[in-house]
């Protein structure tokens, strides 16, 4: 019966790869540590990106408020036209169509 040889070569390669990977990780950790140490300090504990946001409902953005105002104006004009047509109908006149 044939016996398998010892897997020393494969095992050595695996161990080398593992050690190399550990060195890469350690190098990345060192770079990250240096980057964090050299980063500018934050002023206060509040994130500046969200400092202006308050709890509760938020105001509508300008572009959305403009669109909303235009839609309201159109609906108002449509309602006035409908009311005018109703007045003409009740007075017995033919509506403009």
CB 10 within 8 A of CB 17: no
Show the domain range for 67: 62-92
Q: Evaluate whether residue 86 is within a structural domain.
A: yes
Q: Evaluate whether residue 57 is within a structural domain.
A: no
Query: 29-62: per-residue pLDDT in tens?
Result: 999 999 999 988 767 777 878 887 888 888 888 9
Q: Evaluate whether residue 69 is within a structural domain.
A: yes
Query: 60-89: per-residue pLDDT in tens?
Result: 889 899 999 999 999 999 999 998 888 888
Q: Evaluate whether residue 49 is within a structural domain.
A: no
Count structural domains, the chain.
Answer: 2
Q: Quick check: pTM over 0.75?
A: no
Q: Evaluate whether residue 45 is within a structural domain.
A: no
Q: Evaluate whether residue 52 is within a structural domain.
A: no
Q: Evaluate whether residue 67 is within a structural domain.
A: yes
Q: Which long-range contacts (CB under 8 A, 24 or more apart) does 3-10 make?
A: none
């Amino acid at each position: 019966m044939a016996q398998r040889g010892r897997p020393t070569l494969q095992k050595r390669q695996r161990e080398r790869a593992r050690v190399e990977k550990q060195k890469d990780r350690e190098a990345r950790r060192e770079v990250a540590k240096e980057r964090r140490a050299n980063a500018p300090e934050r002023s206060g504990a509040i994130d500046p990106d969200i400092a202006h946001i308050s709890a509760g409902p938020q105001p509508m953005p300008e572009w959305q408020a403009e669109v909303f105002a235009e839609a309201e104006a159109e609906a108002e004009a449509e309602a006035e036209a409908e009311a005018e047509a109703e007045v003409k109908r009740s007075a017995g006149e033919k509506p403009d169509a």
